[in-house]
Amino acid sequence: MRNDTRERLDTLTRWLDERISQAEPGEHLPTVREMMRRFSTAQRMVERALKPHLAAGRLKARPGAGIVVCDPEAESDSQSWEGDLLVLYRISDSRLARNLLQEVEVRLKRKGISILQIGYSTEEQALSVLSKMGRFKTCLLQIHFEVLSIEFLAALRKHVESVVIDGVSATGIDADSIGTNWREALAMAYRTLNDKGHDRIAFLTSAHRARQIAMARREYLVLCESHGASGGRWLIELDKLPGSYQIADIRDALARHLDEDGNLPFTALVVWGVTEGFMLERALSELGVIDDLSVVLLGTIDFPSEHLKRFDVVGNSNHEKFAVFETILSDRIAMRERPPESHYFHISHASHGSILPPGD
């Protein structure tokens, strides 16, 4: 072996020894291709440097999962994993939900994490698929406001080491939950409108029984009472899940409040559950009230198709959301010690000019 080749192998070997000694079990090393570029060497040279670590059980390499640091004495590392991350998602019409899954997959695959996504319509369907599979290090569960049964969660835990839930409707259980406190967002929107002089504020939302939605409805009634809203309260409920409203749903729900002159009894409207701003714009235009009504959406401030830069929006940020999910999932896959908890996104207000003083 030529001297420069030997030196390159020695350099790579020392670097690997140091990385492995500093890494925690479950942590991913750079891919073979990345190490080839880093040390300007051939694939067979990288594989030669890795071979003793793989044989000794200090590293584990599987197609699609990358090179993982492991502890050969730990029982959890000695088991055979089906994959790193299982993504279970209830099939829905929500673009925001799909957008999150797509971004999380891209970010984690860059780290060499193996991912399997399974869409399901019923819990029984999901468990039937899982019964034919092995164990995963963690599961990202997206239930989209549907009820999560105790039986389903117990059965799921037999197939995964940990669970991360998209949404904070399920809290106080042995799982991480990540989401937005929509009561906080509603309170900020209501307060913003109130500060602009509005005391006749309506709230259009879902009638679904999910905890987050029910609590937001309750919060609206409390806000009306505490702010001394004049003329009444207008809780407008749609018998659909957030993200599935259509133009006619919004238009018809609001039309029931029009007087014989085509006027609404409220001067401002907070809307939760519209993920395509053109639908709200079209519904208000068809009713002829779009220029007379101050509107605030509860949603994602940096999801342009939601607010169209036309409606003010109060809510979370996709940028923060992606970063939090990436961090928590990476930690769970690496099996880092941290107690499960609820992670709430920061709430902020993006102004696009849809709030005006009453009468303007």
Q: Is residue 359 part of a domain?
A: no
Are residues 70 and 108 both part of a single domain?
no
Are residues 223 and 298 both part of a single domain?
yes
Cα 163 from Cα 150, distance rounded (Å)? 13
Which pLDDT tens digit goes with each residue over 8-45?
A: 888 899 999 998 888 888 788 888 888 988 888 888 88
Under 8 Å between Cβ of 232 and 166: no
Q: What per-residue confidence (pLDDT) applies to 236?
A: 97
Are residues 147 and 256 both part of a single domain?
no
Q: What per-residue confidence (pLDDT) applies to 1?
A: 47
Q: Is residue 298 part of a domain?
A: yes
Domain that holds residue 138: 80-180+319-344
Are residues 303 and 197 both part of a single domain?
yes
Give how far Cα 89 sits from Cα of 80, 117, 208, Å: 24, 8, 19
The residue type at 148: L
Under 8 Å between Cβ of 212 and 145: yes
Number of domains observed in the structure of the chain: 3
Question: In the structure encoding, which two tokens stand for residue 92, read together?
Answer: 């829905």
Question: In the structure encoding, which two tokens stand for residue 297, read together?
Answer: 């959406």
Q: What per-residue confidence (pLDDT) applies to 77?
A: 45
Are residues 207 and 134 both part of a single domain?
no
Cα 136 from Cα 192, distance rounded (Å)? 45
Are residues 186 and 309 both part of a single domain?
yes
Which pLDDT tens digit goes with each residue over 277-300?
A: 999 999 999 999 999 899 999 999
Longest dimension (CA), the chain: 93
Are residues 296 and 331 both part of a single domain?
no
Are residues 188 and 287 both part of a single domain?
yes
* Cross-strand pairs, 28: 68
CA 62 to chain CA mean position, Å: 28
Q: What per-residue confidence (pLDDT) applies to 78?
A: 42
Q: How many CB atoms lie within 10 A of CB 106?
A: 12
Q: Is residue 351 part of a domain?
A: no
Under 8 Å between Cβ of 238 and 273: yes
Are residues 59 and 94 both part of a single domain?
no
Q: What per-residue confidence (pLDDT) applies to 76?
A: 46
DSSP for 98-147 reads: HHHHHHHHHHHHHTT--EEEEEESSHHHHHHHHTTS-EEEEEEEE-TT--
Q: Is residue 350 part of a domain?
A: no
Task: Say how many CA atoms lie within 13 Å of 81 toward its Cβ.
Answer: 30
Q: What per-residue confidence (pLDDT) applies to 40?
A: 87
Q: CATH code at 211?
A: 3.40.50.2300
Whose CA is closest to 216, among 195, 197, 190, 198?
A: 190
The residue type at 296: V
Cα 360 from Cα 351, distance rounded (Å)? 17
Crossing angle between the packed helical segments 318-333 and 95-110, to the nearest 10 degrees: 50
Q: CATH code at 57?
A: 1.10.10.10
**Measured CA angle at 17 (ends 16, 22), to 5 deg:** 95
Q: Taken in order 260, 263, 265, 270, is the CA torsion positive or negative? A: positive
For the chain, list residues with pLDDT below 50: 1, 75-78
Cα 299 from Cα 102, distance rounded (Å)? 19
- Secondary structure letter of residue 29 according to DSSP: P
Residues 6 or more apart whose CB falls under 8 angstroms from that of 262 comprise 287, 288, 289
Q: Is residue 71 part of a domain?
A: yes
Q: Which residue has the tokens 């080749």?
A: 5
